[in-house]
Structure 1
């Protein structure tokens, strides 16, 4: 259904976009096939407007609970109990701020982050940024493909190579869903998120963690800083939380809503989009905290403090919890997480390629290229080295993500702080200070994680 009815038809971009962007006013819309296609009621009760904007935040939240986060959460819970819950909370608050800024950029300027970079920086700089971003998306995709393949192996005994090939089919699933409308894609992702949440609710109920211990875990502890091993895992949790491709993805998909492209319409859209992403990221907080709590209540409590691998957790969950279906639920949640993550990473790959390069390739071809680049290394490593090789590849993918993150966070904060580019939608000075502190902290922690990983300290 075309949402562009006369009463809500977006006005010309140049009417409300600041002068500094107008030299690029003829730029292509981000994801033009679905841009401004989801109807937004102009009047009515508040919850109808919230539901109209609900969706993009959940697609973004997928990246915060992808298989790449599971290892750090499992390690943190099994080794240190509930102590690192405060780190998960801190990293989630950082994510809420950065994703709100990403949504603001997309709505206020009619550009995704990649397009904003292309309109601001020189061509050589943009090419470097594009290559770095593509490397990050591929690295993230590797973790998600590996997670999906492991889940298929645990559930159905499918070899890793076969599981990786099946994971590649998500490109066709994305094509099918996008052809039926962006709401179908959102519904698919939200359905899998519900599956993940239900699986962990059942497991947490079976583990019956002490309420006082869980609440105490959300309180910051000095031990996190003074214990080098705990600090390393804490850095890993924060470093694996904010995914660079999510900032590009969110700034694009918020534009699928057919809000009026006026100052009042954009301001209203920013409010609802921020609410949507905040609620969705609270779900991501629950899932990440649930993984850590499950590991603490099951493995740490029973003396299995060395559980850090997904396979180990799968084998031990049912015997330790005394619930036969516990391991299966864990693998089902992992499969749902992997499927969701690969779909959104493929979509992010298309956004980045179109935004930085302004390519005119068919959408299906861009998605297939993105998937193929990620699938090939997994298949090669799995064929040559088996599961141990894929585990090393997973570590390498997180290192690549750490290297790329500054190249996404710093431009984003710079753009939304610039009144020449954002006009009336530029963030206030206190918010800008907070954003730069978050950006600096993430960059420092990721650099430390990168150095520690390379030199094995």
Structure 2
């Protein structure tokens, strides 16, 4: 129910997508503050994906990280050109192709490495033991429920069909959207689970696996170079896809909240530079990845709270307003995310171990 809400909002309200309606509703000061945090989230997204892509190029071809970051930025510009010149549907096809590569790259090792399914089931229940585990939980949450995806999904719905869509087409659009979201979550969830199982089955207790390069080396040692190459290709495809979508979302954020329209290429440069600066400064890439995902986790409530409020407002949504049960579930999810983020902030401030 909740994941399809971002794309339902522009369809059913006939207005700007979800949280971006705040550009019409908030006074200037609060609107600028909301835009600033959204831009920080967009920059954090780009940081993670550019670094991830650069690491993948280093793993596959030995390319230095800074040069790899530049290559990822250039290729992502080419991918964004598809959206600019061929339209949202072609852009989605390209992203779907990259998603298929990601799936193959990260799932391949699961068929070759043993999985203790009893231990896997036992690990379903999270166990948070101090600040480090809460930090990792928040980073995994940010990496899975990326706030920029909420903005991007709404914007894609708007750009593909226009606002407002034909009234007669709404039921068909909503059904297609639900299936689209369901299949996307199924694939994304399967890939994430596969990565966790692969790591748990083959990297547990292996020294040096606290970095992506170390994890790759351990995978090669345990499962062979073929799986290592598949892992690197999947990581590269993930970086290219996510950084392109993040840039698209950033353009939607600026347009919706500031009513400023920049080309996606200008946006690409704005968010690429901080990532390249971090790489050039020699910051540990794995640590930068974790912290960037924590920032994404902190940004999730800022994207979800306005979205849930607006889609639960009959004045905005009319007859398509969220049912009470949907709103309750949505607010519970938001509350849990906020609780995790607050726990992380409190533990960090207290210096908890």
Alignment TM-score, normalising by the size of structure 1 = 0.71
Give the secondary-structure state (helix, strand or coil) at the position aligned to 1:119. helix
Of 420-429 and 199-208, more deviation after overlay is shown by: 199-208
CA 1:226 to 1:132, structure 2 compared with 1: closer, same or farther past 3 Å? closer
CA 1:374 to 1:255, structure 2 compared with 1: closer, same or farther past 3 Å? closer
1:374 matched to which residue of 2? 271
Superposition pairs of residues 274-423 of structure 1, within 5 angstroms? 274-300=178-204, 303-304=205-206, 307-321=209-223, 323-361=224-262, 363=263, 367-385=264-282, 388=284, 390-423=285-318
CA 1:215 to 1:355, structure 2 compared with 1: closer, same or farther past 3 Å? same
CA 1:375 to 1:450, structure 2 compared with 1: closer, same or farther past 3 Å? farther
2:198 & 2:334 partners in 1: Cα distance?
A: 30
Alignment TM-score, normalising by the size of structure 2 = 0.90
2:99 & 2:303 partners in 1: Cα distance?
A: 26
For structure 2, list consecutive stretches of 5 or more residues without a partner in the other structure.
none
1:227 & 1:131 partners in 2: Cα distance?
A: 31
Q: Which has the higher contact order (CA 8 A, sep 6+)?
A: 2
The answer as to whether partners of 2:98 and 2:238 remain within 8 angstroms in 1 is yes
1:210 to 109, 112, 116: 116
Give the secondary-structure state (helix, strand or coil) at the position aligned to 1:271. helix
Give the secondary-structure state (helix, strand or coil) at the position aligned to 1:278. helix
Quote the offset at 1:415 in angstroms.
0.3
2:242 & 2:128 partners in 1: Cα distance?
A: 31
CA 1:315 to 1:204, structure 2 compared with 1: closer, same or farther past 3 Å? same
1:193 matched to which residue of 2? 99
CA 1:234 to 1:187, structure 2 compared with 1: closer, same or farther past 3 Å? same
1:272 matched to which residue of 2? 176
Give the secondary-structure state (helix, strand or coil) at the position aligned to 1:325. helix
The answer as to whether partners of 1:102 and 1:251 remain within 8 angstroms in 2 is yes
Of 133-142 and 173-182, more deviation after overlay is shown by: 173-182
For structure 1, list consecutive stretches of 5 or more residues without a partner in the other structure.
1-96
1:116 matched to which residue of 2? 21
2:149 matched to which residue of 1? 246
2:35 matched to which residue of 1? 130
Instruction: Name the Cα RMSD after superposition.
Output: 2.4
Of 113-122 and 430-439, more deviation after overlay is shown by: 113-122
Q: Give the number of aligned pairs.
A: 349
